[in-house]
Structure 1
Amino acid sequence: MTVVLLPAYQPGSHLLTLAGSLCATGGVAGVLVVDDGSAPASAPVLEAAAGLGCTVLRHPANRGKGVALKTGFGHIAGAFPGQDVVCADADGQHSAADVLRVAGRTRATGHTVLGVRHFARMPLRSRFGNTATRVLFRAATGRPVADTQTGLRGYPADLLGWLRSVPGERFEYEMNVLLYASRLGHPIEEVTIDTTYLGDNASSHFSPVADATRIYWPLLRFAASSLVPTRAR
């Protein structure tokens, strides 16, 4: 079985739709919501998530998606030892069906699995950013990854300790995970998913300037180091 980790900031009803669908399937060991310092107005949504059967952890202040993910990994390692983890966004982009597909692939392979989105369906700003990072990532690591910025990711249980050691506090953390995985030769699998962009992805908390800088800096630094990743195990 798998635990689903949903990092959330100012969540709306889409969190409840996804969490409710996952809990209703009976196909997951648990659903963990980590609220990253949302305003009091989000309290009813978080209380409703708990009412659906989710475990809800809350940061008293906003600390960043990377910290929220690490909080979740730490809790899952203690409360659900030996369980794989699938991380998904709480803004309505991901369906329960795709979460379960990624979970199944992770369980079958024992590898990290990325849910790869259809680029043709992305809003223009997301498509441009993903194309640029995909090209730079391959140039830096020599490894082709179709979607470096996807939030739907499956991780095997034995990587949870390592995931907590990867540096990064905000959106750059997920890029760092891929860079460090490439350096260490960790296998990365991919499955194609259907992604819904509501209102041209207006609910995203990604900052086009600040967060893009955080993502590109470690990528460029990695490329400049001229480190060649080791052979995959």
Structure 2
Amino acid sequence: MVLLLPVYQPSSHLPLLVSRVDCPVVVVDDGSTPPVGGLPCTVLRHAQNLGKGAALRTGLRHIAGTYPGEDVVCADADGQHDVADIMAVADRVRETGHTVLGVRRVRHMPWRSQVGNALTRLLFRATTGRSVRDTQTGLRGYPAELIPWLLTIPGDRFEYEMNALMAAAREGHPYTQVEIATTYLDGNASSHFGAVGDALRVYRSLLRF
């Protein structure tokens, strides 16, 4: 398994997470200032901020070429995802061969996340007929054979993850959901999700589907 961490202006939790996982780690620095450095892992860099979707594809492309045949777990590096949950997702990918979503307990989310997740959850079920308890989770595990498919998913920013879910529903890819801890530090102040712009991109993707 390879851990993929797309980051932009990361907090002090990034080196702590990298030091605690016992697997190869690929960090994609999406235009941070100053650049991310000094980590005992592979660090790829975008010269400017291109968005989470673009960072994920950069990391997936590197992993496909450097670690062929390895499953990948994508996680956030802002303290939301701990090592135990990351490894639980990785283990379930290995056991099932499916995409695995680490789903948070909705009642423990900040109110903004609760409202957004409830709306996208309802719209996703209405448009695809499939149920996902946490459509906005950043902790997702993928079997190695799905990486080439993931590289074809459009969207450069936060809508990429919604596009991947909808494409999986359309094409019949199975997925498994694993409950994870719901951790927010400083009221989720480190999140770069734009309440208006990024939310509109996500809902536009749903409407297009």
The TM-score bracket by the shorter chain reads: over 0.9
Query: In 1, distance between residues paired with 2:37 and 2:110?
Result: 32
Matched, 1:152 2:142: no
Q: Amino acid of the residue matched to residue 48 of structure 1?
A: G
- CA offset at residue 195 of structure 1? 2.4
Q: State the partner residue of 1:63.
A: 50
The answer to whether the 8 A contact 2:99-2:141 is kept is: yes
For residue 58 of structure 1, what is the amino acid of its counterpart? R
Q: CA deviation at 1:16?
A: 1.1
SS in structure 1 at match of 2:126: helix
Q: Which amino acid aligns with 1:119?
A: V
Indicate whether 1:32 and 2:26 are aligned. Answer: yes
SS in 2 for 1:165: coil
1:86-165 alignment runs, 5 A limit? 86-165=73-152
Secondary structure at the residue paired with 2:186? coil
Structure 1 residue ranges without an equivalent (≥5): 223-233
The corresponding residue for 1:194 is: 181
Q: How many residues align?
A: 209
Distance 1:47 1:148 in 2: 31
Q: Distance in 2 between matches of 1:216 and 1:47?
A: 35
Please state if 1:47 is matched with 2:37: yes
Counterparts of 2:149 and 2:83 in 1: how far apart (Å)? 26
Aligned partner of residue 58 in structure 1, secondary structure: strand
Cα distance in 2 between the residues matched to 1:179 and 1:47 = 35
Structure 2, unmatched stretches of 5+, are none
Alpha-carbon distance in 2 for matches of 1:47, 1:200: 27
2:69 alignment partner in structure 1: 82
Taking structure 2 as the reference length, the TM-score comes to 0.98
TM-score where L is the length of structure 1: 0.88
The whole-number CA distance in structure 1 between the counterparts of 2:203 and 2:17 is: 30
Once superposed, which parts of structure 1, at least 4 consecutive aligned residues long, lie more than 6 Å away? none
Rounded to whole Å, the distance in 2 between the matches of 1:213 and 1:196 is 25
Query: Which structure has the larger Rg?
Result: 1
Any conservation in 1 of the 2:61–2:151 contact (CA below 8 Å)?
yes
Q: Quick one: distance in 1 between partners of 2:182 and 2:75?
A: 11
The structural deviation recorded for 1:168 is 0.5
1:172 lines up with 2:164 in the alignment:
no
Q: Following the alignment from structure 2 to structure 1, what is the Cα–Cα distance between the partners of residues 179 and 9?
A: 28
More helix by share: 1
User: How many percent identity over aligned positions?
Assistant: 63
